[in-house]
Amino acid sequence: RIADIISGMYKQKLENLKETCNEFMYRIYSCVAPSILAGSARDLSCQACSSTETVAEFLHRFLLPPDPAEEDVSGATAMEWAAFAGHTDMVSKLIGLGYTADVADKGG
């Protein structure tokens, strides 16, 4: 089925980005995860924005520094990546831990 092929290609791309240490593009691809196979039996929306995901799990999944306030090479923090990904539960968790939502990366 086409969903199996697309899913395999997506997973392979993520692995390739991780293996080549292209963490920024890995994060970008991770942000679009909910749109990959949206509406199909393999929809990734629930997995990509799970309300049960911990901050530590999110940081690990997005290959971010262990401190949510620490910026990545683009100047973005965990708060920005959670917002980019549409992960509202993670944004709420980070705010609840005292991290600010008033952020700007190197691009402004």
Three-state secondary structure readout of the chain = CHHHHHHHHHHHHHHHHHHCCCHHHHHHHHHCHHHCCCCCCCCCHHHHCCCCCCHHHHHHHCCCCCCCCCCCCCCCCHHHHHHHCCCHHHHHHHHHCCCCCCCCCCCC
Q: pLDDT by residue (tens digit) across 22-64? A: 999 999 998 888 788 788 777 777 777 889 999 999 999 999 9
Higher per-residue confidence, 57 vs 106? 57
Can you give the pTM of this predicted structure?
A: 0.79
